[in-house]
Amino acid sequence: QRTKISKLISNCFINKFCIDVELLYLAKKSKLQISEIGIEWKNDHDSSVNIISDSMNMFVDLFRIVWRHQNYK
């Protein structure tokens, strides 16, 4: 299992907010079993996230992920 995850990580090129989306996308394309677990979220009021520009960048990253990995197996 660790080898499969290492392969996914080595094929990632996104290093911002969409890294988790890219990993899930590659896992699904690899037909790996994915499970959800709950977490406790704490909002950081000192966050440097910009809701407008970061959202736009994430939207573009979604297309970049699909385009880059369209032939991934």
What pLDDT was estimated at residue 53? 94
Rounded CA separation 68/50 (Å):
26
So what's the pLDDT on residue 49?
A: 85
- DSSP letter for 62, please: H
> Model-level pTM?
0.80
pLDDT score recorded for residue 28: 93
Per-residue model confidence as pLDDT tens digits over 9-45: 999 998 888 999 999 999 999 999 999 999 998 888 8
pLDDT at 12: 92
List of residues 6+ apart from 19 with CB closer than 8 A:
12
Whole-Å CA distances, 44 to 17, 41, 49, 70: 15, 9, 10, 35
- Side-chain-side CA neighbours of residue 7 (13 Å): 11
For 43-52, write each residue's pLDDT tens digit: 888 888 888 9
